[in-house]
Amino acid sequence: MTKIVSKKMSLEGWTLKEWFVGNWKTIKEGLKVLVPLALGWAVTNNPELTGGITLVGKFILDLGEYYFKEYTA
């Protein structure tokens, strides 16, 4: 297998797909917060209520992810 070496000050070998795959967990967690936050802002201008909606929304999305994924202990 050929190993790609990117020299200093070069983006040789960098691809958006590799970046996306490598950062998928961070992107997913960001979406799990931003989607409920946007919904909270759409419903109310109250910061406390928006924060509450964001926390409940993230909890529901985390619970859904746990339900659909297989985990072993």
**pTM greater than the 0.85 cutoff:** no
Q: How confident is the model at residue 22 (pLDDT cuts 50, 70, 90)?
A: very high
What is the Cα–Cα distance from 53 to 39, expressed in whole angstroms? 8
Cα separation, 2 vs 4, whole angstroms: 6
At 1 the three-state DSSP class reads: coil
- pLDDT for 30-51, tens place per residue? 998 898 889 888 988 898 999 9
36 within 8 A of 53, measured Cβ to Cβ: yes
Q: Are 42 and 53 spatial neighbours (Cβ–Cβ below 8 Å)?
A: no
